Amino acid sequence: MAESEEIDVVERIISNWEKTHGDTRSSILTMHLCIEYRINKIIEKRFKNPNALDKLGFANKIRVLDGLGVVGQKDIKDLKILNEARNFFAHDLDVDSQEFEQKFLEKIKELSFYHSFSMIKPIYPFNVYSFATMIILRLLLLAKDEPLTKNQESTAS
């Protein structure tokens, strides 16, 4: 897929995100899909047989991304945190409870740049999640995702 086509796909996903009309669960799941789509594209371009990885879940895709070395360790950690926070929304029915909001906030506080929001009151965890998603998505869009050259393959082993 050409880079312009890929950007078009991401723009369509973001457009769908905007259509969630403030539904937090839908927004978070859609943002997560944007990140997963981009990780899939990086994996497809770096592996000779990417279909062998079709059944990987998101957590394992993060491990593959880590192994490829296309993003830094801080970003890998933030991806894991975003995934855990996303899982709260995907697997918990009562997302409107005080207990759920507190659990989500505590997870969001683990993001590497959360402290930079400390001067903003009140802090809305959803806004921090959204901001983190956009940062990670931009990073993944800029990541080198070409297949390793023969020279790079020999030095990597």
Task: Sketch out the chain's domains with CATH numbers.
Answer: 3-143 (1.20.120)
Give phi and psi for 45, each to the nearest 5.
-80, -20
Q: Are 115 and 94 in contact (CB under 8 A)?
A: no
Q: How many CA atoms lie within 13 A of 36 on its CB side?
A: 16
Give every residue of the chain whose pLDDT is below 70, as ranges. Answer: 1-22, 117-121, 144-157
* pLDDT of the residue at 155: 42
* pLDDT of the residue at 28: 87
Q: Are 96 and 102 in contact (CB under 8 A)?
A: no
- pTM of the model as a whole: 0.77
Q: Are 26 and 126 in contact (CB under 8 A)?
A: no
Instruction: Report the mean per-residue pLDDT for the chain.
Output: 79
* pLDDT of the residue at 141: 80
In order of 48, 88, 124, 157, the CA distances from 139 in angstroms are: 23, 24, 23, 26
Q: How many CA atoms lie within 13 A of 76 on its CB side?
A: 15
